[in-house]
A and B are shown apart, each in its own frame.
Chain A
Amino acid sequence: MCTNISESAAIKGAGKGPAGWFALNQATVGFDHATHSEAEHALLLDFTNYDLGTDARVAVELDLTSGRALLEQLKATIEAAEATGLHG
């Protein structure tokens, strides 16, 4: 099924694609048809910079369990990072 579940946000960072590193300015998180995963549907994480072309994209497909695990990792890591006072 097409879920049409998709959220996009502006981000600041860098990603590495086949041609090397490039600046990222958008993240899109969706849950829809998987392109490459075994599952029919997957969490679709796209880190992109369409100013540089359609292929300026780092794509990841995850199952929901992996997505939740990643969420926890991100949360824990961000909290630890903030506690260092080294951010910003």
Chain B
Amino acid sequence: MWNSFRTDSHLGITAEITTYSAGGGDHIHAYVSRPKGDGPFPGVVAIHHMPGWDEFYQEFSERLARHGYAVIAPDLYCRFGHGTPDDVAAKVRSQGGVHDDSVVADCAAALTWLQAQPWCSGKVGIIGSCSGGRHATLTASKVPGFSALVDLWGGGVIMEPDQITPARPVAPIDLTADLSAPILGIFGNDDRSPTAEQVDQHEAELAKHGKEYEFHRYDGAGHGFFYYHTPMYRQEQAMDGWAKVLDFFGRKLG
């Protein structure tokens, strides 16, 4: 739970940009944050949102690290070049977005990288928001080995035929039978992607396939309600949502 650390504890984290061997053997950037010490710490792969590998995701990762997790947040846009996060995201947008296969390969490699670290317990979760929620769901449906999945308002888990693009050729909901991790879903009822109806569809599909899931839906919140740097932020819902995330990871990765 947030703000429940002991005041006599020796809390400390390390956080830095590094590189790791990602999909196709490419060395791409990643933000790695973890508690100080030898561990072993449970791991988390954090997948950034469409606006890019940005400062929000660094702080997002640091929050998880402060709560005991070794977090790797790959720069999924790394191959498009470098600049400020919004410049890079604009370039990616102009080229139709990052390909799903590239994301899945980078996240699979991030899982392997974490599990090879002496300070990682080997239990690894995956989390993402917005497009990252979709990517997290997609990855956990195609790559075995994750012990927990958190989908934060992932838009495009359910896709209409006209939403299929070369970069996004598959609707993750169609891979639900292959989902290999319990899933926590956090959604705002005013969101338009996913809509409340799409969240219902997703939940029904998980139930149909006997998957372990926990979905939480918040009134008075739309998309991106954890984003304290935007007008989408909803304090009460975000803090409760974070509590759900930390509780879920605690139970599944502890």
Report which A residues bind B (CB closer than 8 A): 1-4, 6, 8, 26, 28, 30, 32-33, 35-36, 38-40, 44, 46, 48, 50, 53-55, 57, 59
Smallest distance from the beta carbon of A46 to chain B beta carbons, Å?
Answer: 5
**Of all chain B residues, which has the CB nearest A57?**
B87
Is the CB–CB distance between A2 and B82 below 8 Å? no
Inter-chain contacts of A46 with B (CB < 8 A): 90, 93-94
Is the CB–CB distance between B231 and A48 below 8 Å? no
The complex places the Cα of A36 from the Cα of B231 at a distance, in Å, of 10
Smallest distance from the beta carbon of A83 to chain B beta carbons, Å?
Answer: 33
Is the CB–CB distance between B222 and A57 below 8 Å? no
7 additional contacts (CB under 8 A) given A46-B93, A57-B90: A1-B130, A1-B223, A2-B131, A2-B134, A2-B156, A36-B86, A40-B224
Asked, given contacts A44-B90, A48-B94, A54-B91, whether A1 binds B193 with beta carbons under 8 Å apart, the answer is: yes
Smallest distance from the beta carbon of A53 to chain B beta carbons, Å?
Answer: 7
Inter-chain contacts of B50 with A (CB < 8 A): 2, 32-33
10 closest cross-chain pairs (CB), A and B = A1-B193, A54-B83, A28-B94, A54-B81, A35-B86, A1-B155, A2-B50, A55-B83, A2-B131, A54-B87
Report which B residues bind A (CB closer than 8 A): 49-51, 80-84, 86-91, 93-97, 130-131, 134, 155-156, 163, 165, 168, 191-194, 222-224, 230-232
**Of all chain A residues, which has the CB nearest B93?**
A6
Inter-chain contacts of A35 with B (CB < 8 A): 51, 86, 89
Inter-chain contacts of A50 with B (CB < 8 A): 81, 91, 94
Inter-chain contacts of B94 with A (CB < 8 A): 6, 8, 26, 28, 46, 48, 50
The complex places the Cα of A76 from the Cα of B163 at a distance, in Å, of 34
The contact of B90 among A3, A39, A48, A53, by CB within 8 Å, is: A48
**Of all chain B residues, which has the CB nearest A5?**
B93
The complex places the Cα of A55 from the Cα of B231 at a distance, in Å, of 26
The complex places the Cα of A46 from the Cα of B96 at a distance, in Å, of 14
A-B contacts, 17 of them at CB < 8 A, read: A1-B191, A2-B193, A3-B193, A4-B163, A6-B96, A8-B95, A28-B90, A28-B93, A39-B231, A40-B231, A40-B232, A44-B90, A46-B93, A48-B94, A53-B83, A54-B88, A54-B91
